[in-house]
Amino acid sequence: MTFQRELVEHVGQDAWIVVCFSSLTFFLVIWMMYRVLNKAQHDIMFINQAYFGKWAGNLLNLLLLGYLLLVGGNICRTFIQIVQVWLFPDLHTWILCVILLLAACYAVFGGLRTVIGVCFFSMLQYMLLPIYFFIASYFHFSYFLPVMDHSVSEMVKAMSQMTFSFLGVEVILICYPWFKNPKKSERWVYWANGVVTLFYLSEIITSLAFFSKNQLINIQWPSLAQFQFVQLPYIERFEGFGVASQLMRALPILCLCLWSAGRISKVVTSIRPSRTVPFFAALLAIFVCLLPESVAIKYAHHWIYIAGTGIVYVYLPILFVLSLFSKKVKPA
C-alpha cells in the first residue's frame, strides 16, 4: 500500500522498471519452490524435518509460524490505521480488531475451501481500476523522463524494498498437499504472479503520472490519495471505496495466516487447529492493540521485510540446492 513512495525514494521515475524486475525474480522463486515441492510431494513442515532433522526442522517450522503471525498482525493493524486516518479518527483499535479476527476465525473454521473463497472475493478490488480514467486528465507523462537514469545498485536496493509487496507465495509451501493436482497448480501460480504484477504496474504508473517525485515521497498512501480527486455527482467522498478495497486485501491475508499457523502447530505439537487458532487470534489481538503508533507499525513492517527477504532469497534457494543433491525425501 506504500510501495510507490518507497520505490520513488530510491529510483524516482524508474520505479515501474523495478516492479518488472522484481516480478521476474519472483517467477524464479516460484520455479525453485515448485521444484522442491514436486520432489517431496509434501508440505514445508515435512521437508524441514526431512532435510534438517526433527528438532531443527520443528524449530524452523516454529519460526515460520511466528513469521506468519507477525504478517497477520501487521496487515490487520495497517488496515485499522487506514480506517482511523481516512474515515473514523475516534475509532478504538480493539473494536475493529475483534471484528476482523472473528471474521477470519469463522472462515478458518470452515476449512481451506472457505479461506480460498474469501481470497476469491479479494479479486473485487480490481473492479476499482477503471476509476483511474476519471483522473487521467491530471496525468503528466513527462514525469517518467529520463528513463533508466539510476545506477544498478540503486535498482537492486529498490528491488529489495519491492520484495515486501510480492510476499505471500510462501503460503503455497503449506497449502501444497491440499491441492487437487499439485503439479498442475504451478502454472496458475505463474498466472497469479503475472496478474499481481499488472496490478502493481497500474498503481505505480498512475502514481508516477499523477504525482511529482517530491509529492510521492511525502504521501504515505498514494493509491488512496488519488481517490480524493475522483468526482462523481452522487458520491461525496469516493476514498471510502478505496478504504473498503483495502479490506479485500487485509481479510484474505489474515485468514491465510491463521489457517497456516494452525496447520503448522498441528504438525509440530499435534494440537488441533480448532484449539490453536483461537489462541493465535487472541495473541494477534494483543499484538495489534500494542501497536498504537505509526512508528511501531513501521518497525513491525521492517522486521517482516527482513524475515520475508530471508525466506525468499536465502531459505528457499538453500532448500532448492538440498533437493538437487537428495535422491529421495524421507521423514525424520
Instruction: Extract the residue ranges of the chain whose pLDDT is less than 50.
Output: none
Could you tell me the three cell numbers for 81?
Answer: 490505521
Helix boundaries (H) for the chain = 3-11, 15-40, 44-52, 54-86, 93-109, 112-121, 152-166, 172-175, 185-210, 213-217, 222-227, 239-269, 273-289, 294-310, 316-325
Q: Domain 3-325 sits in which CATH superfamily? A: Amino acid/polyamine transporter I (1.20.1740.10)
Per-residue pLDDT tens over the stretch 234-259: 777 777 778 888 888 889 999 999 99
* Residue 49, helix vs strand vs coil: helix
Which pLDDT does position 172 carry in this prediction?
93
Which pLDDT does position 212 carry in this prediction?
85
Contact between 170 and 311 (Cβ < 8 Å): yes
Which pLDDT does position 243 carry in this prediction?
84
Which amino acid belongs to residue 318?
I
Enter the DSSP assignment of 232: B
Which pLDDT does position 331 carry in this prediction?
55
Residue whose C-alpha is closest to residue 131's, from 3, 232, 13, 233: 232
Which pLDDT does position 114 carry in this prediction?
92
- Whole-angstrom Cα distance, residue 235 to residue 40? 53
- Whole-angstrom Cα distance, residue 280 to residue 257? 10
| Residue boundaries of the structural domains of the chain | 3-325
